[in-house]
Amino acid sequence: MYKKMKEMELYQLWSGQELDDPDLNTELAGIAGDMEAITDRFYRVLEFGTGGLRGVIGAGTNRMNIYTVRQATQGIADWLNADYDAPRVAVSYDSRIKSDLFARETARVFAANGIKVFLYPELMPTPCLSFAVRELNCQGGVMVTASHNPAKYNGYKAYGADGCQITLEVAEKVLDKIEKVDLFHDVKLTDFDEAVKAGSIEYISAEITEQFLNHVLACQIHPGICRDAGLKVVYTPLNGTGNKPVREALKRIGVKDISVVKEQEKPDGNFTTCPFPNPEIAEALDLGLKLAAEKQADLLLATDPDCDRVGIAVPEENGFRLVTGNETGALLLDYICSQRTALGTMPQRPVTVKTIVTTEIIDKIAQKYGVEVINVLTGFKFIGEQIGLLEQKGEQDRYIFGFEESYGYLSGTYVRDKDGVNASMLICEMAAFYRRQGKTLLQRLNELYQEFGVHCHTQQSFVCEGESGMEEMAAAMERLRSQPPKSIDGFAVIGTEDYEKSVITDWKNGNETKIDLPKSNVIAFRLENGARIVIRPSGTEPKIKVYYTTTADTWEEVRKLDQTLKADFSKILGL
């Protein structure tokens, strides 16, 4: 009863004043008397963590709106002013609903707190924000985006001075500051236009964008190879930020035949033709696949709304085949290794970095070329962190590639986040290279499978929305820790990796090995047949994600194993 009264009191507090965004007053009036709707908006404060903020756009403490954005920004401002003298920040935004408004409000709060703000004058990809933080000598950054979430979401990624998304330690400091801020009374604000006139908010110049593109182009391995390759590309930015920079990068490397999906070309936060603007989801690529078939394209490229992820499809005998993030990453690493070795440009003691849920075929490719593999927790900031550690030792040139299975790639050290512009360019170069050899990307992928064995990687997501959903996810993870399955799909579990307890356990002999990574709510099971299952709650969405790996000599074998493995583990999970 007290909890319901608290939520109703918050609703009445918000409803009882004229809010700066009139859409919020309209929404609050529309849910009067609807206790379920009121509870969902006010039962908690939108969580701030290493991924920043992310939530449904709307009124309330559990929503993305100008007040929760201002409150978070005030917390970041308080942290920056406590830790740095005269801090500077960079701010960017994508095509989502209210992204431009949230970016302006973010800039207003920072400026009011005496922090110099560099703001992109138009929507820009996430990697451009990471680049600006470092290039403009900033101590922090904010990218307003919800990445690939559905249209009803928006979000807010926070960055540190290294150009990476903030660490857990920094997130905890910021959260401590945020919790002390009353979102209606404690936030400092300044007039946006006056701040621009005074120079406390400065628009980022086109020169910075040009420098970013130059760094992308510097990552070419065979410069000019695309000019006479006759490569036909279909591209969709999924109504996001990639349209201008990706097309410009491809134009500069010599890709002449680019067809853009018109319905998805211009920025549109409603994502009318792709309700889930995620290149990992086949439905998002429907229009692109149709156009690719019409144009008889060699390659379909799709970037997500903030252009840090890339999905591809390539022709096969009866249409087009979607290539997974793991497969694209394997192709890229193999291309980089083989060609840099052939050209004599491979560094001494080369390094590739991948996340713990990413394909292990990488280990086999890396071993072939003498490349060290570094495994990190899920999240590209951990890959960026490894680049920073190499840079501190003056060894950044050892880094040749980093990627995660969720379609994020980076082959340079100029940013510390995944880069859809860089990846799009490199994928096109790779496709042109193999085309000139009379091969498709699919043929090259099958060659890798013949050499290293077929690796099948699939994923399941179990959506757990609302307060009850959060409790269900926590209970499921606790069950797996306290009562781990002894077998899955009839195959014995021979080992577990618990990244929260930081221990790997060999069930055959009981030996335990310490995991030297930050604690994270992730559990992995290894089976006697070589299969591996990894489970973790998403850090950005209300869902549990499960990653399945199966290996065998043929696709028929791995697909059968994958299906039965998922069916049995779904029952064990009980969601």
CA distance 325 to 483: 32
Cα–Cα distances (Å) from 422 to 89, 316, 456, in that order, read 24, 25, 26
- Residue from 147, 200, 411, 424 carrying the catalytic annotation: 147
Residues 478, 482, 488: CA angle, nearest 5 degrees: 95
Q: By C-alpha distance, which of 45, 74, 20 is closest to 187?
A: 74
Q: By C-alpha distance, which of 30, 51, 49 is closest to 41?
A: 30
Return all residues near 99 (Cβ < 8 A) that are at least 6 apart.
93, 123, 144, 145, 154, 269
CA distance 443 to 456: 17
What DSSP string describes 18-57? --SSHHHHHHHHHTTT-HHHHHHHHSSPPP-BTTBEEEEB
Ranges of beta strands (E only) in 32-152 are: 53-56, 88-93, 116-119, 140-144
**Helix ranges restricted to H, 464-504:** 466-482
Residue carrying structure tokens 């540190």: 160
Active site residue 147: yes
SS3 487: strand
* Token digits of residue 425: 């360019």
CA distance 332 to 556: 25
CA distance 447 to 461: 31
Active site amino acids: 147
